[in-house]
Structure 1
Amino acid sequence: MRTRGAVLVGSVVNGLALGFVVTNIGFGDYAELNRMFTFQDPRMLLAFGGAVAIIVVIFGVMQVRRTPGRIHAGVVPGAILFGTGWAISGGCPAIPIIQVGSGYLPALVTIAGVAVGMWICRWANARYFHLDRGSCGL
């Protein structure tokens, strides 16, 4: 059985490794992401495709089976908002943390936007939508 300390150390090591790899691939670079979203450079899209291919193989080897269910009501509008925010800011919720770690301080605005967006989602969900708790990144 693993202790909390071992889990914490493992999480920190994995987080550092992920940050290192993601930064070196270019996901922390706004210009790279902009070129991906404007289809000027397919390299980042190919990185996404490669990641999907790898996980498909891993799921196949591990025999992970998941029964497709009903699509959550917030998936389509959430995906549109997520993609739009990513294209504008150059970062999904994890990338601005990597950008700040790389010295790109304007990413702090993106992090603040993520926090405000989650707050607005919680407020709107409680007031209007009444979707399940997981719909606002909780």
Structure 2
Amino acid sequence: MRTRGAILLATVVTGLALGFTVANIGFGDYAELNRMFTFQDLRMFLSFAGAVVIIVCAFAVLRVRRTPERIHGGVVPGAVLFGTGWAISGGCPAIPIVQVAGGYLPALVTIAGIVVGVRLCRWANARYFHVDRGSCAL
């Protein structure tokens, strides 16, 4: 049985390793992200594909079995909003943290936008949609 402390430590270590890697390969750079979204450079797409292959292999080795259920109704509009925000701001929710750590302070605006967006998601969900509580992170 795993302890919470061991899981927290593993999460922190892998998060730091991911942040270090992302920062050093340039994926925190807005120009790099722009080249990806405009199909001028496929390096990032190939990196994501490689990551999917690695996680599939890891799941196979660890024998992780998940049976997919019906796709939640909020997945498609959420994905569109997520992708639009990523293309405009130059970062998914983790990248602005990498950008701030690298000295790019305008990323603080993106972080503020993420926090506001999550709060709006929770409010709209509670008021109008009433879907599961895990659908709005943070």
TM-score by length of 2: 0.91
1:15 positional shift: 2.6
Aligned mates of 2:25, 2:53 — CA distance in 1: 17
Count how many residue pairs are aligned between Structure 1 and Structure 2. 137
Give 5+ residue unaligned stretches, structure 1: none
After superposition, give the CA deviation of every residue in 1:95-138 in whole Å (9 maximum; x if it has no partner).
Answer: 10010000000100000000000011111111111111011115
The code of the aligned residue for 1:126 comes to A
Tell me the secondary structure at the aligned position of residue 104 of structure 2: coil
RMSD: 1.7
The code of the aligned residue for 2:90 comes to G
The code of the aligned residue for 2:18 comes to L
Q: Which moved more, 1:41-50 or 1:61-70?
A: 61-70
Identity value in percent: 75
Aligned mates of 1:8, 1:62 — CA distance in 2: 19
The code of the aligned residue for 1:136 comes to C
The code of the aligned residue for 1:67 comes to T
1:26 positional shift: 1.7
1:78 positional shift: 0.4
TM-score by length of 1: 0.91
1:7 positional shift: 5.6
Residue 45 of structure 1 corresponds to which residue in structure 2? 45
Q: Which moved more, 1:126-135 or 1:10-19?
A: 10-19
Runs of 4+ in 1 over 2 A off after TM superposition: 1-4, 6-16
